[in-house]
Amino acid sequence: MDEERRKILEMIADGKVTADEGARLLSALETGRSRERKEAKRFTKSRRRRKIVDMEALGTALSDIGPTVREAIENAFSGFRSTDIDPFDDTDLDFEIMVDEGLDSADPIEVAEGAVIDFRTAGRKGGNLELEGYDGDKLEVSGNHSGLRIGGSSEHLGVSWTGGNLKAMVPDHAETIRIRVSGGGAVLRRIRSDVFSKNMGGNLDIEDLEGTFQSKLMGGNLSVVLAEGSIGESEAKIMGGRVTLSVPESLPVEIDAATLGGKIVIDESLGKADTKGSGSMARATVLTGDDEARAKIQLKVVGGNVEVVSDAKD
């Protein structure tokens, strides 16, 4: 992904322009480059010959770029829920902690049963995130990070940082973990909560997940390893990356995968896949486990492959 295109996508992710405005910028950028390529081609063929360009035909060819890009951007960056409450909103802020640069940890913070915890990068440096679930009742934050801010309440905690690596131990009794990371990757281990994530420019690895996941990535790969107890509706939407899903053979799920510009590979030990599609679009569905009440997992990818493998236990 070149620099100009990346800047436009960052503007959309940061909310500086709307998805519709971003689509028009991307379309204008592509139109300009198309013209440059055509001019260069004509010049290379002959300096003396002039070739008449059918601008009407060119306009028709470019007319579908805007809606296509707009739909993809809206799918990738639409909000998790319209009713979300910002944990840093002053009206809901029971406490706030600012950690100076140079300190590698903050005091543990009490987390209520069923709490929501937000993790977000702030600023333009980007950052990496590493989370691990444990059987405790407090959020423990550490790592080589800068600009750490923690606030909210025991029912809804917010954690943000401006750069570097952030690590946290997350109590199992938290109900929801929401992540928004730009310019870095995220690794989640032994999580027992539902995970909502938006990642731009980095990979997301989820290991031993017992909750559900709703993930949107741009410019990164997604890897999810489901635990034996995982159940519930899940979904992933990826642009410019690949998806690898590891499923226990006994886990009853319906996996519906689709990719534009990639291929789908499903482990035969999970069951016979129903494949369809033509051209650059591929689709496949596979049913695992014996229970008819299966949870559905949807994987949608643009510009990457989908691989579903068996996590067989010895």
Distance of CA 111 to the CA centre of its chain: 25
Domain-wise residue ranges, the chain: 3-77, 90-310
- pLDDT (tens digit, 9 = 90+) per residue, 67-82? 544 454 445 444 434 3
Per-residue pLDDT tens for 96-139? 666 655 445 678 899 999 999 999 988 777 789 999 999 999 99
Q: Which two tokens stand for residue 114?
A: 């069923």
Q: Amino acid letter at 261?
A: G
CA angle 146, 152, 156 (to 5 degrees): 110
Per-residue pLDDT reduced to its tens digit, 264-280:
999 988 888 888 876 67
Q: Could you tell me how far CA 161 lies from the centroid of its own chain?
A: 18
Strands annotated E in 49-115 = 95-99, 109-110
Helices (H), 125-256: none
Token pair for residue 73? 């951007």
β-sheet bridge partners, residue 283 = 258, 276
Instruction: Determine contact, residues 56/114, Cβ cutoff 8 Å.
Output: no
Sign of torsion, CA 258 264 268 273?
positive
Please report how many Cα atoms fall inside a 13 Å half-sphere around the Cα of residue 67, on the Cβ side. Answer: 5
What mean pLDDT is reported for the chain? 77
Which pLDDT score, from 0 to 100, does residue 143 have? 82
